[in-house]
Amino acid sequence: MSLKRAVECVKRHKSFIVTSHTNLEGDAIGSELAFAALLRSLGKRVTVINHDPIPGEYRFLPGIARARTMDSAPKTGFDCFVTVDCSDISRCGAVARLSAGAKEILNIDHHISNTGFGDVNWIDAQASSTSEMVYRFFKTMHKDFDRQTAVLLYTGILTDTGSFRYSNTRSATHEAAAELLRYGVKVNVIYRCAYENIPFTHLVPLVKILSTMRQDPSGRLVWMKIKRSFFKGSCGYFDFSEYVLTFARSIKGTEVAVLFKEHADTSTGVRVNFRSQGKTDVNRIARSFGGGGHRTASGCVLPGKIDGAVRKVIARVLRELK
């Protein structure tokens, strides 16, 4: 039903800002750029603005030149503020400020923890990804895909389902992917770009991250740390989060994997990512620290130093595993 309201919202406005969350990843970029393309095909004026620039791992995506950051953004003169893949408006970072100038906020998301902050909310916690929802939006509007939008949406679905391996993969997910392939998506090329792209110079930090891996006595909980100091001397700050979380999940007996990451810049605070194999609700754990996400994948940010965050969070997860 709320898809219908989202369609009506799009129809009644002329100009849009489209944004997603901080720490951009495949689903955020794929869904925002594809949704912006859909709006443009309807004759709307659209600006895509994010808190963060597009990370190096996703520079292969088509149309990223259209994604701006706050310093080059028109701050006024639009009707509708659209967020995709954001469970809360604060997840948009500094871009959230712009929403004050909008007639309406349209919130499109698949996180079960979504706070319903929009004037119009289309939340589908069953959807694998926001990209799968934007795919459905195209279908509802009877709009055709082109190669560019197909690549964007396929990449968003691919990355949010862990390459169609996580429990959020439904038949509707494969149906969407199957149709997108008809528009010239090359699955092997996208897989290479999205995953098989670790710079050789980053093997040293990767080894350091893996050497921090610890397991609780029951073997059901595994955790790791990414410290800023690991990257000293290597250029850039390659995001190993998905790689090492995937590896931690593949350790025999793992029910919950947790990754602690210091911010890449000098700001304090620790990003914590949770993955569960299904029995443990890691959305509930993340929420108890002010974050959220999905039952099997969630995150939060803790103030202070990394070792304090590890102590607090691990104690909390162990209580949940009892």
Residues that bind Mn ion (CB under 5 A): 27, 85, 129-130, 160
- We find the least distance from the C-beta atom of residue 55 to Mn ion, in angstroms, to be 15
Residue nearest to Mn ion (CB): 27
- We find the least distance from the C-beta atom of residue 116 to Mn ion, in angstroms, to be 17
- We find the least distance from the C-beta atom of residue 45 to Mn ion, in angstroms, to be 26
- We find the least distance from the C-beta atom of residue 26 to Mn ion, in angstroms, to be 8
- We find the least distance from the C-beta atom of residue 77 to Mn ion, in angstroms, to be 29
Residue 233, judged by CB atoms within 10 A of its CB (0-12, 13-18, 19+), counts as exposed
DSSP characters over 106-142: EEEE--TT----SSEEEE-TTSS-HHHHHHHHHHHTT
Which candidate, 304, 283, 300, 278, places its Cα nearest to that of 291? 300
CB 80 within 8 A of CB 102: yes
Query: C-alpha dihedral over 169, 173, 178, 180, to 10 degrees?
Result: -120
CB 276 within 8 A of CB 256: yes
Distance CA 170, CA 161 (A): 10
- We find the least distance from the C-beta atom of residue 31 to Mn ion, in angstroms, to be 7
Nearer to Mn ion, 157 or 224 (CB): 157
45-50 β-sheet, strand order:
67-69, 45-50, 15-19, 80-84, 104-109, 120-123
Nearer to Mn ion, 13 or 159 (CB): 159
CB 238 within 8 A of CB 198: yes
- We find the least distance from the C-beta atom of residue 291 to Mn ion, in angstroms, to be 14
- We find the least distance from the C-beta atom of residue 162 to Mn ion, in angstroms, to be 12
Distance CA 318, CA 222 (A): 11
- We find the least distance from the C-beta atom of residue 115 to Mn ion, in angstroms, to be 16
Nearer to Mn ion, 125 or 314 (CB): 125
Residue 267, token pair as written in the block: 């700001």
Residue type, 43: G
DSSP characters over 256-315: EEEEEEE-SSS---EEEEEEE-SSS-HHHHHHTTT-EE-SSEEEEEE-S-HHHHHHHHHH
Residue 65, token pair as written in the block: 């030149």
CB 92 within 8 A of CB 83: yes
Nearer to Mn ion, 156 or 205 (CB): 156
